[in-house]
Amino acid sequence: MKHRESTAEPRFEDLGLSSKMLSAIKKAGFEKPSAIQAAFIPVAIEGVDCIGQARTGTGKTAAFVIPILEQIDHEADAPQALVLTPTRELCQQVADQAVRLSVNRDCRVACIVGGKSIKQQVDTLKRGAQVVVGTPGRIIDLMTRGMLNISKLEIVVLDEADRMLDIGFRPDIEKILRRCPEDRQTLLLSATLPPPVEKLAKRYMHDPEMVDVSANDIAPATIKQYCCTVDEDRKLGMLVKLLAEVRPSQVLVFTRTKRTADRLHAVFSKRLPHVAHLHSDLQQTVRDRVMKQFRAGQLRMLIATDVVGRGIDVSSVTHIINYDIPESCDDYVHRIGRTGRLSSDQEGVAFTFVTKQQGEELTRIENRVNTLLEPYYVQNYDAFRAGPARRSVVDDGVKRFG
């Protein structure tokens, strides 16, 4: 019987890339393409519109950054590629990858995000940025003021499209797309393709090719997923007990609201060093510093809401704790995608706190990831006794974790 060639492991060498690109990829330490990269890159470098769907943490950034770097004119001065992403943190990550993957050729990247000096950003543009990465709000702002020349744009990328629509960027995105040159290439990357994303693609993309590697790949096998049933007012005690028991080396705790994030932060930061929180009400300079410290491993515990937590790539995170069960299944997938990532070999662990009333929400998540979350019982802690844990329990738990 004849063997099919497609069973061979994909290699960057087979994707039609230039030798400059190949050597930059090597320098970046990428040995072989991920599934989405192997499927998406050859289509995208042809210049056609393309939708890429793949789980969080599978390398979607390089999947569109590589085709951009291969297609743009590195001698030209006007922006040729525009990447829209939902958060400032993600903009920075995309910009960093673009710089990293263009080590041996000139490529100027501008990061255009809110909460930072407009003047500095305009200066970068004036120096002739070829790739512009930004959040929709600030991009619109600079476009309207005539400070961002989009007439030479050849590629527009909608990164984390599902999340951008989730957080209300649709009007801004549509405004931007309507003003961009008609004959541009549009690339759309997303972990999920709910109807609003499909509608956007239908309206603003030309006959897009669909590259979907998300099937059976929702939750990475390298993540152990547990659930802990607990009463709402027993959650804090549960969290400190769990931390004391598991003693994670770096943990990301997700809350549903900014207020809960603030509250948890107050409890832990008072008792421990290397704890921070992240949500959209905090100043941009603070958010940047926190992300930098977290990535550098200087923070042991980060408490975050979904908006900022999503898409953040920190390969050293060992544990995810969903202090509140995520509102949507997609958020669950995104949250646990923060650990056990492509760039780390270690197995990740995710705990999800579920109240008795949230059984249905848990079932929806389990259906979505096609896995039953294994019940986890924290030792010596009654998850259902009336009233919150005593202060001494909290103090003692935090001490044993720290």
Helix segments in 247-389, DSSP class H: 258-271, 284-295, 306-309, 329-336, 359-369
> Is the four-CA dihedral 291, 295, 296, 301 of positive or negative sign?
positive
CB of 37 to Mg ion, least distance (A): 12
Q: Which stretch binds Mg ion (CB under 5 A): 59-67, 208-216, 302-310, 388-396?
A: 59-67
Residue closer to Mg ion by CB (options 60, 300) is 60
Find which of ligand ADP, Mg ion, none residue 341 binds, CB within 5 to 8 Å per kind: ligand ADP
Q: Nearest-CA neighbor of 349 among 271, 213, 245, 212?
A: 245
In angstroms, the CA 393 to CA 344 distance is 34
Q: Which stretch binds Mg ion (CB under 5 A): 39-47, 58-66, 101-109, 356-364?
A: 58-66
Binding pattern to Mg ion, positions 10-49, x when CB under 5 A? ----------------------------------------
Do residues 134 and 113 touch, judged by C-beta distance below 8 A?
Answer: yes
Q: Which stretch binds Mg ion (CB under 5 A): 8-16, 43-51, 57-65, 348-356?
A: 57-65
CB of 10 to ligand ADP, least distance (A): 10
CB of 124 to ligand ADP, least distance (A): 23
In angstroms, the CA 34 to CA 25 distance is 13
In angstroms, the CA 78 to CA 60 distance is 25
Q: How many residues does the chain have?
A: 402
Residue closer to Mg ion by CB (options 163, 319) is 163
Find which of Mg ion, ligand ADP, none residue 62 binds, CB within 5 to 8 Å per kind: ligand ADP
Question: Which of 55, 60, 184, 338: binder of Mg ion (CB under 5 A)?
Answer: 60
Q: How many C-beta neighbours within 10 Å does residue 191 have?
A: 24
Q: Which two tokens stand for residue 266?
A: 């107050």
| CA count, 13 A, side-chain hemisphere, 190 | 22
In angstroms, the CA 159 to CA 309 distance is 15
Number of residues near Mg ion (by CB under 5 A): 1
Q: How many C-beta neighbours within 10 Å does residue 373 have?
A: 20
CB of 386 to ligand ADP, least distance (A): 42
Where do we find the tokens 């050729």?
105
Binding-site ranges for ligand ADP (CB under 6 A)? 30, 33-34, 37, 54, 56-62, 311, 313, 315, 341-343
- Residues forming a β-bridge with 161: none
Residue closer to ligand ADP by CB (options 125, 189) is 189
Q: Which two tokens stand for residue 374?
A: 């294994």
H/E stretch holding 212 reads strand 209-212
CB of 61 to Mg ion, least distance (A): 5
Give the CA distances from residue 81 to residues 88, 125, 246, 363, in Å, rounded to whole numbers and listed in that order.
18, 12, 45, 42
Does 108 sit near Mg ion (CB under 5 A)?
Answer: no
Residue closer to ligand ADP by CB (options 37, 102) is 37
Q: Write the single-letter amino acid at 247.
A: R
In angstroms, the CA 291 to CA 300 distance is 12
CB of 25 to ligand ADP, least distance (A): 8
| CA 264 to chain centroid | 23
Residue closer to ligand ADP by CB (options 108, 341) is 341
In angstroms, the CA 277 to CA 286 distance is 10
CB of 23 to ligand ADP, least distance (A): 15
CB of 5 to ligand ADP, least distance (A): 21
Q: Is 380 helix (H, G, I), strand (E, B) or coil?
A: coil
Q: How many C-beta neighbours within 10 Å does residue 10 have?
A: 17
CB of 18 to ligand ADP, least distance (A): 17
Find which of ligand ADP, Mg ion, none residue 15 binds, CB within 5 to 8 Å per kind: none
Residue closer to ligand ADP by CB (options 218, 240) is 218
Residue closer to Mg ion by CB (options 194, 402) is 194
Residue closer to ligand ADP by CB (options 83, 148) is 83
Residue closer to ligand ADP by CB (options 32, 126) is 32
CB of 91 to ligand ADP, least distance (A): 12
Residue closer to ligand ADP by CB (options 61, 130) is 61
Could you list the residues that contact Mg ion (CB under 5 A)? 60
